Amino acid sequence: MPISGEGIRFALYAGKICYKDDYEKLFSEKYGKNLKEGKKILDLWLSLNQDEQKELLKSLDPKILPRIFLEGYRPNLMEALKLVVKPNILKKSIKHFIK
């Protein structure tokens, strides 16, 4: 997972399906979206300065942080709206997720 560096579950699943003819399709269906979202989240995180990172962590529900970092979970609209009060983070978020 790009944002956390975790990869054991991906490797185990890849090993399980590696001899199937459609292994790339199977892997993409199971983890492709999460990995792409994880990359976007990592890109956003790296674009923020330390103060912005602290603001973002304070504004997010702590229950969803593990999902963001381990699963590439993209916060829903209601969670994302909390960032509206932080225009600098909102601008960077839009840049990374509206592509």
Q: Give 58-67 pLDDT, tens digit per residue.
A: 877 788 888 8
Q: How far apart are CA 64 and CA 66, in angstroms?
A: 6
pLDDT at residue 69 is higher than 70: yes
Q: How far apart are CA 19 and CA 37, in angstroms?
A: 27
Q: In this predicted structure, what is the pLDDT of residue 57?
A: 82
Instruction: Classify residue 3: in a domain, yes or no.
Output: no
Q: What is the pLDDT of residues 10-56, one digit of tens each?
A: 899 999 999 999 999 999 999 888 888 888 888 888 888 999 888 88
Instruction: Classify residue 37: in a domain, yes or no.
Output: yes
pLDDT at residue 9 is higher than 70: yes
User: Which of these, 91, 83, 46, lies nearest to 64 by C-alpha position?
Assistant: 83
Q: In this predicted structure, what is the pLDDT of residue 62?
A: 81
Instruction: Classify residue 65: in a domain, yes or no.
Output: yes
- The number of folded domains in the chain is 1
Instruction: Classify residue 2: in a domain, yes or no.
Output: no
Instruction: Classify residue 1: in a domain, yes or no.
Output: no
The residue range of the domain holding 29 is: 8-97
